């Protein structure tokens, strides 16, 4: 996740499953693809 363009920080709470991505110009589709590649899925 941190390797994605524009990402300056990532926080993951394993207990709640919450992912927070910080940065400027971060591509939502790229984040979703990275999450899927890691074997997880995003939920609203």
| Residue 10 CB contacts under 8 Å (≥ 6 apart), including other chains | 1, 2, 19, 20, 21, 22
**Of the ranges 2-6, 9-13, 24-28, which one carries the lowest mean pLDDT score?**
2-6
Q: Which domain holds residue 12?
A: 7-37
Over the stretch 14-28, which tens digit does the pLDDT of each residue have? 999 999 999 999 999
- What pLDDT was estimated at residue 8? 94
User: Does residue 32 sit within a domain?
Assistant: yes
- What pLDDT was estimated at residue 1? 67
Number of independent structural domains in the chain: 1
Within 13 A of 36's CA, how many CA atoms are on the CB side? 7
User: Does residue 20 sit within a domain?
Assistant: yes
User: Does residue 15 sit within a domain?
Assistant: yes
User: Does residue 42 sit within a domain?
Assistant: no
């Amino acid at each position: 996740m941190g390797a994605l363009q524009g990402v300056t920080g990532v926080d993951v709470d394993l207990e709640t499953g919450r992912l927070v991505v910080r940065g400027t110009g971060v591509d939502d589709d790229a984040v979703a693809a990275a999450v899927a590649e890691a074997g997880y899925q995003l939920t609203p």
